[in-house]
Amino acid sequence: MQAEIPSYLPLTEPTFYILLSLAPGKRHGYAILKDIESLSHGEVSLSTSTLYTALRRLLSQGLIERIPDDPRNHAGPGLPRKAYVLSELGRRILEAETSRMQALVGAARLRLGEEVA
């Protein structure tokens, strides 16, 4: 499976944020939307349909799983009854993408630092 990870990279910005949002634990659709807005400081604001198209694709790729949400976790009425959770593969891909971006930023910092010096 490890050999397959590079084929998923690079992740699109919404995909990265969705996986990142699910990293701490399971969330339902609306919580993912709000968390993405918060993580991106309002820069990324997904529509409902865009979110669910992405979620369905990630489900089919096995990067996330769809589970019944615990009714006791409902903060209010009308919250979705299904929640999403990061799979083991999804977590490895998120880590691989983070490392890839770290390497890019590191190289850029190094070069820009050289130029300033």
Chain residues in the site for another protein (CB under 8 A):
28-30, 33, 45, 47-53, 56, 78-82
**CB within 8 Å of 92: residues ≥ 6 apart:** 1, 2, 5
Closest approach, Cβ 35 to another protein, in A, equals 13
Q: Is the sign of the CA dihedral 89, 92, 96, 102 positive or negative?
A: positive
CB nearer another protein, residue 2 or residue 49: 49
Three-state DSSP class for residue 116: helix
Closest approach, Cβ 41 to another protein, in A, equals 17
| CA 99 – CA 88 distance, rounded (Å) | 17
CB nearer another protein, residue 56 or residue 109: 56
Closest approach, Cβ 51 to another protein, in A, equals 7
